[in-house]
């Protein structure tokens, strides 16, 4: 048998805003599901209920069909959604941040219930509407999360409205994503429609929409059919009042400027968020370890400095700031240096003519301001990061990677170099200052990409060390043979 669960949450407590369009979403999907005549049992929840009652209804429905053979399980949700602590939450009417687990459905819980039915195929359509408040964040993390959940089922289709740092938009009448789902069936030109046909239609609808980007996770062969478009279903689709289609288009025009402002505003960090990010990076970097082979040769030291001591050729960053338009909270720094007056004849003549008026110590010099680096214009918990591998053996050099960064409201830019230490004597080593600076830039909101960038720097250092050791020992032994 085939089962369907349709869950809509349009009314919320005062903590988050209502979503009036979700009620129409669920009504339309329920009518479509019913008129396909494909589904034997349908659980339809489209009223304001406490989280306890919703969970009870869902559990009872699953329990009633636990010992039956289930070919397909179709799940549709429209309402607020939130991704946090590597878990996706369907927020219910009485949602309370302090009681998050009690007042929402965790995706892990939903999947566990579904697995008890052992369906041949699971379909999830998630229209997680946010109506202007970005509850769903961390695009990279949530994409990986849903990719992992497909392993819980034999075959599955997950259709998600916008699981990026975006809002899933709706009018007072209906949600944009659900509307595209309805239209994919209404405008289909044959009597049978596959889930892949629905996905293709929705993808085309949102192709040029920069504010909302649906994404899909599939573990199937694309032959699975959503339904046969029978006469009853076709008549229902044709009878739908077209006014809400028109209202949707009109609303999009009216709010397009506001939507653009909201979209761009989501890219900006507050000072507190930026500091929190830097502290999170520090925690993650402190977890770095060497592999067993290198751990036998080096001691790894990870240091976070509140200054730029040990950073050489800082003028390279000053030069970059001078030559590139930017919004970083940083400024050029200068030093006052003496310039020999006798470097040109005119300077010498002037020096002789005015010598009686000059300080005798400074009479042969003039001064100029010379750029020597940069300074941050914002307080941060640390300014530089050192990865240092200290050698345990006298015939192996020590190495370091040194990183500094610039911050703006939207971006972080790393500058870094890799180098070794030169041995001066038994008690002294000196940093090899023949370095090359590298740079990379990331959006502050893309935490995972920032960590990947830092991880890449660490791995570059490791690769350099392994290459040097291989050239010193492995290649020499090979040449002798």
Task: Give tens-digit pLDDT for 289-348.
Answer: 999 999 999 999 999 999 999 999 988 998 888 888 889 999 888 766 666 555 444 444
- Which residue ranges form the domains of the chain, and what is each CATH number? 2-266 (3.40.50.1460), 273-312+379-480 (3.90.1150), 330-377 (no CATH)
Dig out the tokens for 179 from the structure.
């509307």
- Kindly report the number of other CB atoms within 10 A of residue 86's CB atom: 12
Predicted confidence band of residue 353 (pLDDT cuts 50, 70, 90):
very low
pLDDT computed for residue 153 by the predictor = 83
Cα distance between residue 236 and residue 436, in whole Å:
68
- pLDDT at res. 182: 94
- Look at residue 270 and tell me whether its pLDDT is greater than 80: yes
Region of poorest pLDDT, from 11-20, 228-237, 356-365: 356-365
Phi, psi of 217 (to 5 degrees): -120, 125
Q: How far is Cα 157 from Cα 360, in angstroms, rounded to an integer?
A: 86
User: What confidence score (pLDDT) does residue 256 get?
Assistant: 64
pLDDT digits (tens, 9 = 90+) for 103-114: 999 999 999 999
Tokens of 175: 């949600």
Say what the pLDDT of residue 88 is. 84
- The whole-number average pLDDT for the span 253-275 is 78
Whose CA is closest to 269, among 326, 213, 327? Answer: 327
* Predicted confidence band of residue 17 (pLDDT cuts 50, 70, 90): confident
Q: For residue 105, give the nearest of 147, 153, 51, 49 by alpha carbon.
A: 51
Contacts of 446 (CB under 8 A, 6+ apart): 139, 140
Question: Residue 102: pLDDT above 80?
Answer: yes
Q: Are 428 and 434 in contact (CB under 8 A)?
A: no
Sign of CA dihedral 47, 51, 56, 58: positive
Q: Who's near 65: CB < 8 A, 6+ residues apart?
A: 1, 3, 41, 117
Does the pLDDT at position 69 exceed 70? Answer: yes
Report which of 369, 372, 302 is spatially closest to residue 339, judged by C-alpha positions: 369
Q: Mean of the per-residue pLDDT values for the chain?
A: 83
Q: What is the pLDDT of residue 337?
A: 65
pLDDT at 476: 57
- At residue 228, the 3 state secondary structure works out as strand
- Comparing C-alpha atoms, which of 409, 131, 141 is closest to residue 264? 409
């Amino acid at each position: 048998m085939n089962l369907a669960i349709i869950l809509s949450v349009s009314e919320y407590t005062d903590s988050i805003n209502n979503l009036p369009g979700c009620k129409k979403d669920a009504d339309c999907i329920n009518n479509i599901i019913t008129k396909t005549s494909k589904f034997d049992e349908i659980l339809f929840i489209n009223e304001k209920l406490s989280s306890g009652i919703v969970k009870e209804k869902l559990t009872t429905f699953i329990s009633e069909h636990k010992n039956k053979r289930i070919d397909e399980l179709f799940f549709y949700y429209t309402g607020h959604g939130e991704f946090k602590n590597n878990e996706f939450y369907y927020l219910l009417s009485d949602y309370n941040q302090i009681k998050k687990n009690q007042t929402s459905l965790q995706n892990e819980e939903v999947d566990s219930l579904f697995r008890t039915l052992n369906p041949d195929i699971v379909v999830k359509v998630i229209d997680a509407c946010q109506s202007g408040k970005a509850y769903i964040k961390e695009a990279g993390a949530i994409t990986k999360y849903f990719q992992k959940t497909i392993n819980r089922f034999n075959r599955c289709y997950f259709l998600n409205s916008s699981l990026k740092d975006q809002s899933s938009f709706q009018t007072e009448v209906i949600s944009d994503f659900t509307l595209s789902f309805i239209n994919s069936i209404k405008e289909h030109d044959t009597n049978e429609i596959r889930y892949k046909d629905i996905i293709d239609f929705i993808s085309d609808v949102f192709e040029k929409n920069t504010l909302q980007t649906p994404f899909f996770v599939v573990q199937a062969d694309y032959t699975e059919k959503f339904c046969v478009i029978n006469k009853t279903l076709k008549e229902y689709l044709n009878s739908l009042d077209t006014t809400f289609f028109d209202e949707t288009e009109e609303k999009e025009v009216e709010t397009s400027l506001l939507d653009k402002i909201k979209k761009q505003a989501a890219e900006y960090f507050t000072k507190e968020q930026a500091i929190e990010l830097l502290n999170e990076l520090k925690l993650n970097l402190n977890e770095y370890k060497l592999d067993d082979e290198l751990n036998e040769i080096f001691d790894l030291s990870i240091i976070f400095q509140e200054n730029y001591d040990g950073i050489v050729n800082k003028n390279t960053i000053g030069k970059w700031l001078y030559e590139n338009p930017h919004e970083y909270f940083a400024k050029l720094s200068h030093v006052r240096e003496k310039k020999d007056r006798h470097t040109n004849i005119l300077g010498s003549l002037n020096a002789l003519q005015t010598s009686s008026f000059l300080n005798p110590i400074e009479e042969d010099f003039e001064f100029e301001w010379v750029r020597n680096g940069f300074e941050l214009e914002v307080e941060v918990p640390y300014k530089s990061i050192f990865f240092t591998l200290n050698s345990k053996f006298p015939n192996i050099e020590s190495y370091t990677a040194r990183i500094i960064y610039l911050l703006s409201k939207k971006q972080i830019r790393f500058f870094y170099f890799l180098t070794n230490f030169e041995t001066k004597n038994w008690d002294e080593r000196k940093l090899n200052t023949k370095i090359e600076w590298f740079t990379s830039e990331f959006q502050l909101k893309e935490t995972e990409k920032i960590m990947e960038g830092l991880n890449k720097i660490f791995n570059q250092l490791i690769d350099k060390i392994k290459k040097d050791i291989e050239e010193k020992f492995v290649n020499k032994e090979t040449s002798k043979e």
